[in-house]
A and B are shown apart, each in its own frame.
Chain A
C-alpha cells in the first residue's frame, strides 16, 4: 500500500516539529522546522501545509509548548487562542478545546499536566492514523473497475493510497485532477501523489469540469472537506460548490470525505476566509494582470448536503 509523504506531513523530532512544505512539492520535499506556536501559526496561515497537515500542526504544537513556564494551563490556553485564530474557516477550536480540557483536568486532579497533554495528543494521533487507514479501504471500495474519477482537493494522501489499494484489487481506474487555482494544489500535489501509485491521471483546468461531465469523460466525483456541519453541509476548497452543482446536473455521484462535527448547525454558520487578492493576481513576485485590476479570493466553498451523494466519514475522536 502506497503511503505518500502527504498522508502524514508533519512529525516531531527532538524539540521541533517538521512540517512538509507542500508549496514546494513536487519540486522538493522540504520540511520546515517549527519550534513554537508563533511559527506554527505562520505555516498554517501561509498554507505551507493544508487541511490534515494543519490538524497535525495544531495537535503537535501543544507538545512543543509544554515548556517550563509559570502557569502551564494558562499558557496552553493562549496557545489554543493563537491556533484557533490562524484560519477562520477551520474548526481548530474543537481540537484545541480537548487538549486544554485535558490540561485543566490534570491540573485540578494534581496530576502532571505535561504527561496528560502528551498522552492526549499522542492518543489522538494514533487513533486518527488508524481511522484514516480504515477510511482508505472504504474509498477503495467505492472505486469500481473502469471508473473515471474527477477529484478536486481530496484529503492529503488518502486518495492516492486508495488508488493503490484499488489497483492491487485489480481495478483499472482513471483520474482527472483539477489544477485548483490559485495555489494549484491539484496540479502540484494530487497529480504527483497519484503518479507515485502509477495511476492514470490527467490534469484539467478548473473551467473544464463541465466539459468533462457533458462529454461523459468522468462517471464519479470524489472531493475532500475541511469542515462539516451538523446537517451534513461541508466546506471544502474553492471550486467545490460548482463541481457539486454540475455533478448533480449531469447525474454523477458526488462522494465527499468528511470529518463529522456538530460544532455548527449548517454551512451558513461557517465563516469563509477571504484571502489576500494578491495570491491570485501575483505569481513569482510579479503582477500577472494590469495594476488596476482588482482580485477577489474566497478560500472555500460550502457544499449543501443535498448535493452530496455519499459521505465517507472519519471520526476525529473528539
Chain B
C-alpha cells in the first residue's frame, strides 16, 4: 500500500474504445488500475492491452476491490466506458454504478469515455458459473448476469 499515494490512482471500468483511451493522460507518479470485469474478464484483457500499448502499465483488481481504494483515498479519477448517455444518465458496462456511487461519496471526479461496443442487456447465466473455462459453482446453480446498467446523472455530476 505504501507504493500508492493519496489521489494517485486512475481507475478504469469497462471495455473502452482504443480511440477514447488516447485522451487519457496520467499525471507523473500516477497509476492506472483496471477492474477485471467478470464474468468474461473482457475489461481486464482489452483495457489493459490498450493501456500497455500506450506505455502505461496497468494494475488489475477484481471488481470487489474498488471500494477499498476509495476508502483509502487513493483514487484520483474514475474512467467509465459508456455506451450511451443523455441528460438523465449513462448506459455503461455493469460495475459502473458501483464506482459512480463510490465516486460521489468520496468526491472523486468521473470521466465518461466511449465504450468499445454495444452489448446485450443480459449475458448468458452460465457464464458466471465458470472461471477461465473451469466450472466453479455447483450443479443446478442459477446465475444472473446483467451486462449493462443505467447510471443516473446525479452520480455523474
> Which A residues contact B (CB, under 8 angstroms)?
26, 152, 176, 178-182, 184, 187-188, 191-192, 195, 200-212, 214, 238-243, 245-246, 249, 272, 274, 277, 280-281, 283-284, 286, 288-290, 292-298, 301-302
Q: In the complex, what distance in Å separates the CA atom of A295 from the CA atom of B36?
A: 10
Question: Residue-by-residue, is B82-122 near A (CB-CB < 8 Å gives 1, otherwise 0)?
Answer: 00000000000011011001100100000000000000000
Could you say which residues of chain B place their CB within 8 Å of the CB of A206?
Answer: 38, 62-64
23 A-B residue pairs with CB within 8 Å = A152-B64, A176-B144, A181-B36, A182-B62, A187-B129, A188-B138, A195-B140, A203-B129, A204-B144, A205-B145, A210-B101, A214-B149, A238-B68, A272-B1, A280-B60, A281-B60, A288-B132, A292-B57, A293-B48, A293-B58, A294-B58, A295-B60, A296-B61
Q: In the complex, what distance in Å separates the CA atom of A293 from the CA atom of B57?
A: 6
**Nearest neighbor of B65 in chain A, beta-carbon distance:** A238
Q: Are A203 and B1 in contact (CB under 8 A)?
A: no
Q: Are A301 and B68 in contact (CB under 8 A)?
A: yes
* Chain B interface size range: 35 or more
Q: In the complex, what distance in Å separates the CA atom of A274 from the CA atom of B3?
A: 12
Q: Are B59 and A241 in contact (CB under 8 A)?
A: no
Q: In the complex, what distance in Å separates the CA atom of A210 from the CA atom of B131?
A: 22
Question: Shortest beta-carbon distance, A210 to chain B, in Å?
Answer: 4
Q: Taking chain B's interface residues, is the majority helix, strand, or loop, or is none over half, making it mixed?
A: mixed
Question: Shortest beta-carbon distance, A277 to chain B, in Å?
Answer: 8
> Which B residues contact A (CB, under 8 angstroms)?
1, 33-39, 41, 44-45, 48-49, 52, 57-68, 70-71, 94-95, 97-98, 101-102, 105, 128-129, 131-132, 134, 136-138, 140-146, 149-150
**Nearest neighbor of B127 in chain A, beta-carbon distance:** A205
Could you say which residues of chain B place their CB within 8 Å of the CB of A302?
Answer: 71
Q: Are A296 and B48 in contact (CB under 8 A)?
A: no
With contacts A179-B128, A249-B101 taken as known, whether A288 is within 8 angstroms of B137 at the C-beta atoms is no
Question: Shortest beta-carbon distance, A25 to chain B, in Å?
Answer: 9
With contacts A239-B67, A301-B68 taken as known, whether A210 is within 8 angstroms of B48 at the C-beta atoms is no
Question: Shortest beta-carbon distance, B43 to chain A, in Å?
Answer: 9
